[in-house]
Amino acid sequence: MSLTERDTYSNAGTILLGGVVGAATAGHIINSGTIRQAAGSTASDGIDGSDGAVDLVNSGTIEVAGAAVRSRSYSATIDNSGRLVSTATTAVIAGGSIDTIVNRSGGVIAGSGVAVRMKRGTLTNAGTITGDVLLGMGDYGVSSEPATYFAQGGTIAGNLRFGNGDDQFVSYDDTIGVSGTIDAGEGIDTFVHARGASATVTLGGPLLPSFEREGARATGEGTVLTLRADAPLTSDLLLSGGATIVNTATLTGNILATSAQLLSGPATSTLAGLVNRGDVTGTIGGTLRDFTNEGSISAVAGLRRQTALYLTTDATLTARNTGTIRGETMLSGGDSGAPITPDPRALTLGFTNSGTMSAIQATLQLAASTYLPRETALSLDNQGTVEATGGAGEAVRLSAYRSSSGEASRTIAVTNGGTIRANGGEGVVDTSYPYYLPSYRLPAVALALSGDDDTALTVTNATGGVIEATGARSTALTADGGVFTLVNAGTIRGDAGERIAFTNWYGPEQSYYRAGAIQGSDVGNILTNSGTIIGSIALGDADDRIDSTGRIVGDIFLDDGDDRVMLAGSLSGAIDGGDGIDTVTVTGGTAAAPIAFTQLTDVKQLAVTGGYATIAGVAALRQLDVSGGRLVGPAGSTISAPLITVARGATFGSAGTVNADLAVAGTLSPGASPGEMTVNGNVALVGGATALFEITPSVYDRLVVNGAVSIASGATLQLVTDTPMRAGTSYQLITATGGVNGAFTTVQLPGNQPGVVVQDAGSLRQLAQFAQPTSLAPQVANSVAYVNAALAAAPRCSPRRLPCWTPRE
């Protein structure tokens, strides 16, 4: 009967064959009846896959003079609990690209000389096979394709021969069941200890002849297979099955967890769990759902890529390390886009570390790549140490990308309470193309996150957590993808950052800025800091926000976008706002640990609502409001704005230059105590305002205004000094090219020392007089009163009387 692969044919009766190709030539075939050779007829095949793939479920009898089943070049799947018999040749001939034969308990496969010949695939035997079994043998002789034999309590009355591929003999409960010889052939061949229930297997014993290595397989729900060895092992170890395997052996070699060549289908290709408690020198790799390292894994030294752990998944993979891993660790997940229907399962990669991980360059990587839209989540929880020691090293990288757009969410999240560091500095990469770019430099990065623009990036650095890259040209933390959210209560440490120039043969010299502490995302950044950030911060083109109650030592580059910065802790560095409307708000800081701006560039608004802030360099602002706390400009500073407002209860002062009009309702403290404040603009002291001047024996505060000064009724002049002022000295406190208008209602002098405020059209002075203690004798008191009156009546700053004192340069 001619069928296609999509057809289904069932037989519960009797079919007699006489010299025909076969009862069926393709498709899904269910036989519970009898297919046999007619008496006296020429040889016939029972089932012949000449027209396509064969999927046979046989509980009946197929007995012919030809092959009971022949798959030719198409793949075959045979599930036999009945009889497959050839009276004159091989009973089952499987020549497809990959074939699967299951001979169940009670099943019989019998041939004339040879019972089964298979080019590539798996043969599972729990029944009876009479005749030789040739695996890795095609129509044209020995094959180099891999083949696997499962001994599940069945028997072979004959020999078992493998071809030249990397073959496996999988023995459940270490049963063999082969009456003849076993020849593994060429290739790297593995004897696999298999268990269907929890057990302990001792490795390192004698193997079957011609097998080079051992393996282990765990199946059955809840099964835990423990591997041990009396002596260190020196060859690779293959692991498979759908249960959990625990390794306690010491091994120099690789542990490979894969079932891909054993049975087809996703349900049998993923090991449920692997726990390493041994000491492994080599690589642990494969397809898993769960992995734990409680022992030691050390990559082989000298290799270009020193990989200690490489795990893959198409759905969920959770891994953790409580021991030691020396070498690169890679977790990879994704799909190829075939079939075209999106996988409904979420893709999840998670790693937890409370141990120690180190490598020269790429210590820990989590990478997800999907072709079609799919929920994707990557996570790292580090409470131990992850370190990259070499040049251009990356301690941790998490990346998630997809090839097509869609609504599926993608997240990358890192929680750190331990140490993540890459202190080896930059590295030079040789491209081997000396004509236009012989080499280029790569920075070292402690923690790197990358993804598509809709990938949410999150880092939580807890108290005690450290993320650092302190070598030359390094960055502690980089984020490239969607909106980046950082919550830092620990320490993030890098260098000051720098602008780096680069050239290539087809264009002019260009440059880019490399941040030292944090390189943010172009999609948006939300940084909340209650810890310490040392090194520069560079954010992206979108709207960004920084809220810091902790310590920041380094410059901040906000780039484009409407950005907001709130500072309630301490800062030492400059802020460059870039394009957009940028607002900086100061709510904290102290005189001992101030918000210390070295420069403010392209910042549109500075608001000081509390705390203590200083501007040491140049600040060009569109708006400056001091509504609380104190803002100070040290000597050499230049602060520019159209208008500076100082609210009641707030203090503003400078020992440098202020290019602005001042509207003061709070306290104006010129000189940053003491010193000279130059204002290129007008100064208005409203009612209730205070002008505070500090006076010392060598220098005193002065306000020099290239504009007008207006003093409203209710304003106060307050002088502060630790020592008495020199009686008879006139202190020139205010000069104004536009004149001084109005007068102070209240003058507060230090102690009980008397004095007189002397004001003219362009200046305001304080004349110190002699004190008059009550203990003075009447004659002395009268003399002091006379002198004070004379001082008050004398012309001011007369060279024939008492000169005005100006502070020393």
**Per-residue pLDDT reduced to its tens digit, 783-793:** 555 455 655 55
Which range has the top average pLDDT, 249-263, 372-386, 725-739? 372-386
pLDDT for residue 505? 62
Query: What CA–CA distance (Å, rounded) separates 787 from 708?
Result: 34
pLDDT of 772 > 60? The answer is no
pLDDT of 266 > 60? The answer is no
Which range has the top average pLDDT, 304-318, 439-453, 589-603, 743-757? 589-603
Pairing of strands 702-705, 740-742: unpaired
pLDDT for residue 267? 40
Instruction: Give all strands (DSSP E) within 302-409, no chain letters.
Output: 307-313, 316-321, 324-326, 328-334, 347-353, 356-359, 362-370, 376-382, 385-388, 394-402
- Let me know whether 723 and 700 are in one domain: yes
- Let me know whether 614 and 705 are in one domain: no
pLDDT of 86 > 60? The answer is yes
**Domain assignment present for 251:** no
Q: What is the C-alpha R_g of the chain? A: 42
Average pLDDT over residues 79-87: 98
**Domain assignment present for 242:** no
Query: What CA–CA distance (Å, rounded) separates 343 from 331?
Result: 19
Model confidence band, residue 158 (pLDDT cutoffs 50, 70, 90) = very high
Model confidence band, residue 305 (pLDDT cutoffs 50, 70, 90) = confident
Cβ-proximal residues to 801 (8 Å cutoff; 6+ apart), any chain: 794, 795
Question: Are the C-beta atoms of 635 and 655 separated by less than 8 Å?
Answer: yes
Instruction: Provide, rounded to the nearest whole percent, the portion of the chain with pLDDT above 70.
Output: 88
How far CA 386 is from CA of 132, 466, 535, in Å, comes to 54, 10, 20
pLDDT for residue 53? 84
- Let me know whether 63 and 120 are in one domain: yes
pLDDT for residue 5? 61
Residue 248, H or E segment? none
pLDDT of 314 > 80? The answer is yes
- Let me know whether 694 and 786 are in one domain: yes
Hey, what are 587's tokens?
A: 């709510």
| Phi and psi, residue 636, nearest 5° | 90, -5
- Identify the domain boundary among 128, 159, 187: 187
Give the residue, 768 or 60, on which the prediction is more confident.
60
pLDDT for residue 558? 96
- Identify the domain boundary among 586, 621, 656: 621
Write the pLDDT tens digit of every residue in 604-646.
999 999 999 999 999 999 999 999 999 999 999 999 999 999 9
**Domain assignment present for 33:** yes
Average pLDDT over residues 82-87: 98
Cβ-proximal residues to 765 (8 Å cutoff; 6+ apart), any chain: 730, 731, 732, 733, 757, 758, 759, 796, 797, 804
**Domain assignment present for 147:** yes
Q: Which residue range is the domain that position 71 belongs to?
A: 8-187
Model confidence band, residue 98 (pLDDT cutoffs 50, 70, 90) = confident
pTM for the complete prediction?
A: 0.88
Burial 78-115 (b: 16+ CB within 10 A, else e): bbbbbbbbbbebbbbbbbbebbbbbbbeebbbbbeebb
Looking up tokens 């953790």 gives 320
**Domain assignment present for 257:** no
Question: Are the C-beta atoms of 288 and 256 separated by less than 8 Å?
Answer: no
Nearest to 468 by CA among 402, 511, 518: 518
- Let me know whether 742 and 786 are in one domain: yes
- Range with the lowest mean pLDDT among 147-151, 160-164, 238-242, 404-408? 404-408
Average pLDDT over residues 351-361: 97
DSSP 266: G
Residue 583, H or E segment? strand 583-586
Nearest to 709 by CA among 678, 755, 673, 672: 678
How far CA 564 is from CA of 331, 450, 483, 513, 583, in Å, comes to 37, 24, 15, 21, 5
20, with CB counted inside 10 A (0-12, 13-18, 19+), is: middle
Query: What CA–CA distance (Å, rounded) separates 670 from 678?
Result: 9
Give the residue, 436 or 235, on which the prediction is more confident.
235
- Let me know whether 772 and 660 are in one domain: yes
**Domain assignment present for 252:** no
- Identify the domain boundary among 161, 187, 213: 187
pLDDT for residue 758? 86
pLDDT for residue 71? 86
Average pLDDT over residues 595-608: 98
**Domain assignment present for 724:** yes
- Let me know whether 530 and 554 are in one domain: yes
pLDDT for residue 724? 73
- Let me know whether 22 and 49 are in one domain: yes
pLDDT for residue 444? 96
- Let me know whether 641 and 567 are in one domain: no
DSSP 268: G
Hey, what are 637's tokens?
A: 């500073």
Model confidence band, residue 807 (pLDDT cutoffs 50, 70, 90) = very low
Indicate the number of domains in the chain. 3
- Let me know whether 793 and 719 are in one domain: yes
Query: What CA–CA distance (Å, rounded) separates 528 from 538?
Result: 15
**Domain assignment present for 80:** yes
pLDDT of 402 > 90? The answer is no
Question: Are the C-beta atoms of 631 and 652 separated by less than 8 Å?
Answer: yes
pLDDT for residue 438? 58
- Let me know whether 527 and 659 are in one domain: no
Write the pLDDT tens digit of every residue in 449-490.
999 999 999 999 999 999 999 999 999 999 998 999 999 999
- Let me know whether 611 and 659 are in one domain: no
Write the pLDDT tens digit of every residue in 525-572.
999 999 999 999 999 899 999 999 999 999 999 999 999 999 999 999
Query: What CA–CA distance (Å, rounded) separates 270 from 287?
Result: 5
Write the pLDDT tens digit of every residue in 666-713.
999 999 778 999 999 999 999 999 999 998 878 899 999 999 999 999
Question: Are the C-beta atoms of 374 and 343 separated by less than 8 Å?
Answer: yes
Cβ-proximal residues to 434 (8 Å cutoff; 6+ apart), any chain: none
pLDDT of 154 > 70? The answer is yes
pLDDT for residue 85? 98
Mean pLDDT (the chain, rounded):
90
Average pLDDT over residues 420-424: 98
Instruction: Provide, rounded to the nearest whole percent, the portion of the chain with pLDDT above 90.
Output: 73
Q: Coil, strand, or helix at residue 786?
A: helix
In Å, how far from its chain's centre is CA 98?
40
Query: What CA–CA distance (Å, rounded) separates 202 from 247?
Result: 10
- A 10 A CB-CB count for 795 gives 8
How far CA 291 is from CA of 39, 67, 247, 390, 411, in Å, comes to 60, 45, 11, 27, 22
Average pLDDT over residues 119-128: 96
